[in-house]
Amino acid sequence: MSQGIVGEFLSLKSETDADLLMMQCGDFYELFADDAETVADELDLTVSQKSSHGSSYPMAGVPLSELTPYLTALVERGYRVAVADQFDADDGSKYREITRLASPGTLVETTDDDAQYLAAVVEGDTGEYGLAFADITTGRFLVTAVDDADAASAELYRFAPSELLPGPAVRNDDALLSRLGERLDATHTLRPSDEFGPGRARHRVRDRFGESTLESVGLDSDSPAVQAAGAVLAYVEETGLGVDAAMSRLQHYRPDDHLDLDATTQRNLELVETMQGGSDGSLFDTVDATVSSPGRRLLREWLTRPRRDRELLTRRHDAVEALASAALAREALRDCLDDAYDLERLASRAASGSADAGDLRSVQDTLGVLPALADAIDGTPLSNSPLPAVLEKPDRGAAAALREELATALRPDPPKTVTQGGIFREGYDEELDELIERHEELEQFLDTLADREKQQHGLSHVTVDRNKTDGYYIQVGKSVADQVPEHYREVKTLKNSKRFVTEELEEKEREIMRVEEARGELEYELFEDLRERVADHAELLQDAGRAIAEVDALASLADHAARNDWTRPELTDGDALRVEAGRHPVVETTTEFVPNDLHLDRDRRFLIVTGPNMSGKSTYMRQAALITLLAQAGSFVPARSAEVGLVDGIYTRVGALDELAQGRSTFMVEMQELSNILHSATEDSLVILDEVGRGTATYDGISIAWAATEYLHRGNDPRTEGTPAGPKVLFATHYHELTALGDHLDGVANVHVDAKKQGDDVTFLRTVKEGAADRSYGINVAELAGVPSPVTDRADEILDRLQQDKAIDVKSGDSGSRQVVFDLEQAEIQNEAPPSGEQAGATQADGDDRLTEAERDAVRELREMDVNSTPPIELSQRLQELQQRLKED
């Protein structure tokens, strides 16, 4: 037998591609061999040895009732676990079959409030990428198609799936896979290629959602989105959980509906996670004041997927405005929301058959939140806001009917188990009532039997009880055991008593067993029916859950806005971003913040931001991005006033310190990100560049920054061919040379973050002013950071010398010229030569025969000198040597 079990386990294991198998053996789910060792390590289980056929196998197990928590813990650690249940064969023997597969993307019993997405990504024949995202805990199912791999990874990053099914071509795309691997914490599950096949996927999607689904959601039947959707459906169906029943709707979205936020930008702006990792201090963590998990999930979605649709955003702003100014009504709403459970998730649990009576009771209670919210709104200023319309979205009549049905059926505090009775109210089902009544009568009979026997037969010390082995019995104390009547039949002798049965007792016992069994079966049947009817309403529950979540998310935004003195942004279709007294939404919560103005529009679309290290340049620029993002998420913004021209995307390139930790070349990453921005930003985008070019030698860096500025200024938007029309840009730099561009390019202006230097001390004023900063104060910041004074003093000397020698100096051309280059050797203005790629202006002197040979050598050496990586002392020595050689020349 033991050999049989291990053999059966190993054979089932070889049938599945799951990482682990848990196989039912009687009252336990057991794991053997390597699986036992793995689970024991992960979950601290004891391993015992099972011998079989002369070999010994490690074995670990959990009781049946503990399967769910152990399974959940394993899956949350990224394992895919197959579960095999035990069945009775006709000949009375037992056999096992794999009944379901639990994986990170298909876990119904998750303990996490956040959305849990299972995603598929497919590269279609035309080079487009299809994406499908299913949250089986709520039944949400979204699909889309995007143009290229970058956009696909941005979408994947946005949804942060816990499990990813890469399509056949994606599986071989090492570049994309490694990018996804770095940024996502998803288990990759390889599925058979044919499940991604267009024909099969189309068929599967139509089969599930109806023949005309694709047309009705505006999806082209050849779209790779359909392939991704088909693969997800096939996988979910195969897990055997039945949750696909809750996936009642296919939602197609167009990435165009949302703001383009690439993966880097989502990280740089620390939307849900900070650069150091962890959610504390992220934008979401700061603004989240929701009271329910669905509200939390929705708010997170709003922040990571801001919109471009002005009408929709105006509705959200209207609602937030009404809620922000009606504190009492807002609090009343939030009180109602406190009673709400996660309806979307409950719908999924009902569909998968894992909901218990308590869950159905939660559905009933939460459906009651809808009218409670409507009542709390009625008669307050909120009744003129978009909130009543939000609550009208779900079918309120159907919701009330389902609630009533549940209220008639369920007792107020039903037990967790569904087979022990106590679930249904009296009057719900006639047959059940009869059984309960009969059961009670029988219990009553047994309860009073002892007294009756005492009286009738003059016995003392009589009790009536039941246990597993003896069933019901009459127990009589030893002292009176010989006085029992004749019809008593002895069944057991104990130390101080004897146990008897009678014919009547046996008959009652048989009846009570029959009634108990019938009652249990009937209750379970009734419960399953009720659960199925709830599951049939999955769509209604999703709508109701969504409406409640929406009220919660809006109230949360209003609460944060009211508490932090945020203001309603004015949305326009124009280009302007005008912020009066703006603040950084996260930094303002921990710092005495100095507000700043910002003004960008078509005629002033490119700001070069200078200022000392640590002065607040990055904060100022991120603040601009976050104010725009918040406005387009439907939130108020941290400012006295803000006019926000809707943007189609926000692109950022900021310091890449964390990439260094991952062992990638900082400069390479920086250039990849810059390249992406230069390709993607349109005239409707907002671009934030923080010290582009810093990762390489100074001259290369300046040249790249310079050329990128010119390119962005000109714009590459094919719709505006001919006329310069770049995106709105904020560009912080320590290359003061770049500030010359402000004088020469229309639409480019300089601002600086002010700092005051008194003696050797720097005071950061944090105010942003027009014009370029006069100097950089880098050495002062080094001092602040505790760099020893011999080094900073020496650095001061070197700086003086470098400045005197004009080793780096920029010469600007006539105003209006876009062909400004800097010439390090001749200090001459170069107007005619346009900059040639990254090396703009850096090679002018080589062939100049006005220079002596020694001078040419010196120039070459200077050019090749890596100013950034050469230690200052060596740098100064080499400069002194050069000077010496030139003097001797």
> Can you say which residues are annotated as belonging to the binding site for ATP?
611-618
**In this complex, which beta carbon is closest to ligand ATP, that of residue 20 or of residue 687?**
687
**In this complex, which beta carbon is closest to ligand ATP, that of residue 769 or of residue 801?**
769
Residue in the structure block whose two tokens are 């710092």: 591
**In this complex, which beta carbon is closest to ligand ATP, that of residue 586 or of residue 646?**
586
- Which residues are 582's β-sheet partners? 596
Q: How far is the CB of 412 from ligand ATP (least distance, A)?
A: 52
Which residues neighbour 522 within 8 Å (Cβ) at sequence distance 6 or greater? 429, 431, 432, 435
**In this complex, which beta carbon is closest to ligand ATP, that of residue 752 or of residue 811?**
752
Binding residues: 611-618
Which residues neighbour 275 within 8 Å (Cβ) at sequence distance 6 or greater? 267, 268, 657, 658
CA distance 144 to 219: 8
Q: Going by DSSP bridges, is the β-strand pair 94-102/81-88 parallel, antiparallel, or unpaired?
A: antiparallel
SS3 string of 794-807? HHHHHHHHHHHCCC
What is the four-CA torsion angle of 324, 325, 331, 332, rounded to 10 degrees? Answer: -120
Q: How far is the CB of 261 from ligand ATP (least distance, A)?
A: 21
Q: Edge-to-edge, what's the strand order for the sheet holding 748-758?
A: 260-261, 649-653, 685-690, 728-732, 606-610, 748-758, 761-770
Q: What residue number has its CB nearest to ligand ATP?
A: 616
Residue 337: is it exposed, middle or buried by C-beta count within 10 angstroms (0-12/13-18/19+)?
Answer: buried
Specify whether the CB–CB gap between 158 and 143 falls below 8 A: no
What residues line the site for ligand ATP (CB under 6 A)? Answer: 587, 591, 593-594, 596, 611, 613-619, 766
Count CB-CB contacts under 10 A for residue 811. Answer: 19
**In this complex, which beta carbon is closest to ligand ATP, that of residue 187 or of residue 780?**
780
Specify whether the CB–CB gap between 150 and 216 falls below 8 A: no
**In this complex, which beta carbon is closest to ligand ATP, that of residue 313 or of residue 654?**
654
Specify whether the CB–CB gap between 122 and 262 falls below 8 A: no
**In this complex, which beta carbon is closest to ligand ATP, that of residue 605 or of residue 617?**
617
Helix extents (H) in 326-429? 327-337, 343-352, 357-367, 369-377, 387-392, 396-409
Q: How far is the CB of 164 from ligand ATP (least distance, A)?
A: 35
**In this complex, which beta carbon is closest to ligand ATP, that of residue 176 or of residue 730?**
730
Residue type, 754: D
Buried b (16+ CB within 10 A) or exposed e, 715-729: bbbeeeeeebbbbbb
Q: How far is the CB of 727 from ligand ATP (least distance, A)?
A: 21
Q: How far is the CB of 744 from ligand ATP (least distance, A)?
A: 24
CA distance 49 to 30: 12
Residue type, 187: T
Residue type, 576: A
Taking alpha carbons only, the member of 193, 19, 225 closest to residue 119 is: 225
Buried b (16+ CB within 10 A) or exposed e, 218-250: ebeebbbbbbbbbbbbbbbeebbbbbbbbbbbb
Name the strand (E) or helix (H) holding 201: helix 198-209
Q: How far is the CB of 753 from ligand ATP (least distance, A)?
A: 6
CA distance 674 to 839: 17
**In this complex, which beta carbon is closest to ligand ATP, that of residue 349 or of residue 766?**
766
Q: How far is the CB of 768 from ligand ATP (least distance, A)?
A: 8
SS3 string of 842-863? CCCCCCCCCCCHHHHHHHHHHH
Count CB-CB contacts under 10 A for residue 53. Answer: 11
Q: How far is the CB of 292 from ligand ATP (least distance, A)?
A: 32
CA distance 579 to 684: 18
CA distance 384 to 654: 43
